[in-house]
């Protein structure tokens, strides 16, 4: 086997090299652990590195390989947002509240990845309990953006975005209630996928707002997200929202041509509801042209206003998150970060009638989205107003002030992918969001994959 | 923070204090000030959610009962031992 490990590998590349015996899982894991040691102090992506665990799992993968086993995740080093329970390994949700929490079993998704031979490198930073923003009054500092460490990663899967972009994990698990996988994917220039609710089990993932929470993959490419999704998707009777549906292979469908696919551009979102920078607008124009060149029929599409989706999503999140934390807030209020308290405490004042009103309105918005997605296979938009903002500009009392385009897909219960759409003049990544109809996860991934192959965005990595 | 929309329902600090106490929370003045600002935002969002849906639209909000269990295959009747004839009836 080769002794030197390439500095950046995708899951697909590493998997191929491992299968060809050109790369050993032990060498790969050792190289990743070295890189974590060098890069993590400047990024704060990991809150816990499980080096011993990783080396043991890598050796087991090597044995399995020698015994003739194979698989796309055998010996692949991954890391998990620290709200995924890991048996015998501390799971804190980046909070003082759970600082001593050592779960007895793995989250179902983690169990499936480990059964496929994946190697856990450690646990990744998040906003406290997957809500709010970067906080300095927590046991660990907020993650920093590898493209410019003075900038925000986006969140709440902040460590997942930073680790994948920096190449100190080949893939990661994140969670998404209002955009928490896709915002860091946008700001960190990677691919992040929020599946259709019910496709991926949430058992063992510390909840934020159960009627909106989804678990999903984050990786350098859409192809890698599909590889991870192939492993983690599937019915889990222990998650009440999990649905038993026939599963396609998300990787096998990726290369089917896009010719004739109907793409709706949500222009009003980025021109009116949540206006974007001129560079983001240019990126949207270029992305539309790229998809047209790939054979898609690209036209303007209209959904209800972003603000309608945001009102529903934010009221539901406030009420459900408060309900889950009420008992602990009564006894340990000061142990939560200020940003968490600002986002969640107002839920104490949301009346049951207001919460039900939001849920009723959600059914209208789901129906309206379904109607639009009868005319289009996918919808595209800009997930953020601009590139990653400076970390210092993030204010704990920003609360719910800004419109958030990503929440549309959570409220509408549809799959949504963010890929790197391009770079601004300063070399910072700009995200492109692709949404599809419920259970059309494979189509969304296919569009993202073709887009990445048609552009050069995957050739550029942050310089650390 | 952005100002709440004009139709935001108002709530006085004293009323808020009562509601927070009823929730079993004890906030210091700084936390209370944060809550006032956060609540203005949430109240503004609540005010924008339309409530004019017909009552009949809500048949069952999210409750999904499990499908009935598959009926078990009918059990074979166990052969009863024949009662011994003691003798011919008269």
pLDDT tens digits along A2-34: 558 888 999 999 999 999 999 999 999 999 999
Asked if B45 lies within 8 A of A343 by C-beta distance, the reply is: no
- A100, A302 contact by CB (below 8 A): no
Asked if A397 lies within 8 A of B1 by C-beta distance, the reply is: yes
- pLDDT of A169 reads 98
- pLDDT of B66 reads 61
Is pLDDT above 80 for B58? no
CB-nearest to B23 from A348, A397, A400 is A348
Asked if A360 lies within 8 A of B57 by C-beta distance, the reply is: yes
Is pLDDT above 70 for B64? no
Q: Domain-by-domain residue ranges, chain A?
A: 11-459
Q: Which of A214-223, A351-360, A397-406 holds the top average pLDDT? A: A214-223
Calculate the CA A404 to chain-centre distance: 15
- For residue A20, cis peptide bond before it (omega within 30 degrees of 0): no
Helices (H), A7-166: 11-19, 25-43, 51-66, 108-115, 158-166
Asked if A330 lies within 8 A of B24 by C-beta distance, the reply is: yes
Provide, as residue numbers in chain B, all residues whose Cβ is less than 8 Å from the Cβ of A329. 25
Burial class (CB in 10 A: 0-12, 13-18, 19+), A59: middle
For the segment A137-164, the average pLDDT, to the nearest whole number, is: 97
- A433, A416 contact by CB (below 8 A): yes
Mean pLDDT, all residues of chain A: 96
Provide, as residue numbers in chain B, all residues whose Cβ is less than 8 Å from the Cβ of A235. none
- A223, A249 contact by CB (below 8 A): no
Is pLDDT above 70 for A79? yes
- A433, A383 contact by CB (below 8 A): yes
Nearest Cα to Cα of residue A283 among A429, A454, A447: A429
Asked if B38 lies within 8 A of A357 by C-beta distance, the reply is: no
Other beta carbons less than 10 A from residue A272's beta carbon: 10
Is pLDDT above 60 for B78? no
Asked if A314 lies within 8 A of B23 by C-beta distance, the reply is: no
Determine the number of helices (DSSP H) and then strands (DSSP E) in chain B: 2, 0
Other beta carbons less than 10 A from residue A303's beta carbon: 23
- pLDDT tens column, A321-357: 999 999 999 999 999 999 999 999 999 999 999 999 9
- pLDDT tens column, A251-278: 999 999 999 999 999 999 999 999 999 9
- A312, A361 contact by CB (below 8 A): yes
- pLDDT tens column, A273-324: 999 999 999 999 999 999 999 999 999 999 999 999 999 999 999 999 999 9
Is pLDDT above 60 for B88? no
Q: How far is CA A182 from CA A218, A219, A253, A434, in A?
A: 9, 11, 22, 10
- pLDDT of A422 reads 98
Asked if A359 lies within 8 A of B62 by C-beta distance, the reply is: yes
Chosen from A178, A313, A315, A399 to mutate, greatest number of chain B CBs within 10 A = A399
- Listed by number, the residues of chain A in 210-249 with a beta carbon closer than 8 Å to a beta carbon of chain B are 211
Q: How far is CA A164 from CA A46, A80, A225, A268, in A?
A: 11, 11, 12, 32
- pLDDT tens column, B19-57: 899 989 999 999 999 998 899 899 999 999 998 888 887
Chosen from B41, B50, B53, B55 to mutate, greatest number of chain A CBs within 10 A = B41
- pLDDT of A395 reads 86
B50 close to A (CB below 8 A): yes
CATH topology classification for A11-459: Amidase signature (AS) enzymes (3.90.1300)
Other beta carbons less than 10 A from residue A423's beta carbon: 18
- pLDDT of B87 reads 44
B32 close to A (CB below 8 A): no
Q: Which tops the pLDDT comparison, B7 or A378?
A: A378
- pLDDT tens column, A33-71: 999 999 999 999 999 999 999 999 999 999 999 999 999
- Confidence band for B86, pLDDT divided at 50, 70 and 90: very low
B18 close to A (CB below 8 A): no
Q: Is residue A180 annotated as a catalytic residue, yes or no?
A: yes
- Listed by number, the residues of chain A in 298-317 with a beta carbon closer than 8 Å to a beta carbon of chain B are 307-308, 310-312, 314-315
- A121, A96 contact by CB (below 8 A): no
Tokens of A394: 């993030």
B62 close to A (CB below 8 A): yes
């Amino acid at each position: 086997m080769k002794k030197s490990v390439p500095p950046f590998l995708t899951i697909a590349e590493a998997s191929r090299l491992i299968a060809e015996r050109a790369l050993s899982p032990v060498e790969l894991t050792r190289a990743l652990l070295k890189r974590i040691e060098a890069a993590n102090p400047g990024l704060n992506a990991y809150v816990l590195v499980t080096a011993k665990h990783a080396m043991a799992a890598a050796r087991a993968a090597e044995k399995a390989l020698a015994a003739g086993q194979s698989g796309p995740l055998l010996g692949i080093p991954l890391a998990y947002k620290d709200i995924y329970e890991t048996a015998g390994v501390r799971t804190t949700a980046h909070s003082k509240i759970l600082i001593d929490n050592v779960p007895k079993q793995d989250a179902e998704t983690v169990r499936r990845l480990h059964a496929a031979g994946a190697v856990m490198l450690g646990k990744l930073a998040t906003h406290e309990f997957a809500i709010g923003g970067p906080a300095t009054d927590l046991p660990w500092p907020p993650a920093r953006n590898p493209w410019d460490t003075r900038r925000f990663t986006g969140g709440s899967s902040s460590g997942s975005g930073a680790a994948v972009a920096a190449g100190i994990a080949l893939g990661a698990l994140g969670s998404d209630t209002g955009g928490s996988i896709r915002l860091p994917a946008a700001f960190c220039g990677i691919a992040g996928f929020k599946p259709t609710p019910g496709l991926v089990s949430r058992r063992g993932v510390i909840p934020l707002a159960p009627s909106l929470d989804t678990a999903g993959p984050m990786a350098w490419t859409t192809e890698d997200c599909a590889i991870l999704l192939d492993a983690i998707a599937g019915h889990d009777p222990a998650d009440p929202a999990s649905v038993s549906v026939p599963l396609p292979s998300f990787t096998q469908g990726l290369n089917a041509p896009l010719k004739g696919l109907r793409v709706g551009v949500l222009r009003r979102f980025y021109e009116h509801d949540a206006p974007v920078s001129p560079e983001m607008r240019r990126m949207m124009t270029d992305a539309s042209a790229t998809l047209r060149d790939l054979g898609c029929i690209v036209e303007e599409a209209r959904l209800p206003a972003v603000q309608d989706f945001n009102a529903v999503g934010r009221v539901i999140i406030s009420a459900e998150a408060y309900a889950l934390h009420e008992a602990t807030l009564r006894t340990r209020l000061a142990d939560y970060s200020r940003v968490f308290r600002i986002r969640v405490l107002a839920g104490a004042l949301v009346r049951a009638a207001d919460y039900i009103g939001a849920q009723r309105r959600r059914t209208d918005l789901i129906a309206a989205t379904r109607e639009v997605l009868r005319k289009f296979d996918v919808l595209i938009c800009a997930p953020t107003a601009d590139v990653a903002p400076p970390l210092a500009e993030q204010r704990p009392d920003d609360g719910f002030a800004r419109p958030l385009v990503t929440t549309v897909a959570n409220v509408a219960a549809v799959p949504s992918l963010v890929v790197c759409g391009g770079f601004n003049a300063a070399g910072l990544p700009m995200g492109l969001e692709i949404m599809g109809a419920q259970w059309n996860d494979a189509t969304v991934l296919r569009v993202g994959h073709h887009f990445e192959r048609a552009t050069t965005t995957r050739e550029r990595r942050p310089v650390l | 923070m952005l100002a709440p929309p004009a139709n935001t329902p108002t709530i006085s600090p004293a009323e808020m204090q009562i509601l927070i106490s009823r929730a079993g929370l004890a906030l210091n003045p700084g936390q209370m000030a944060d809550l006032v600002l956060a609540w203005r935002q949430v109240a503004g969002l609540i005010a924008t959610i339309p409530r004019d849906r017909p009552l009949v639209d809500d048949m069952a909000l999210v409750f999904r009962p499990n499908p009935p269990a598959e009926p078990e295959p009918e059990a074979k009747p166990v052969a009863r031992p024949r009662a011994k004839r003691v003798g011919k009836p008269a």
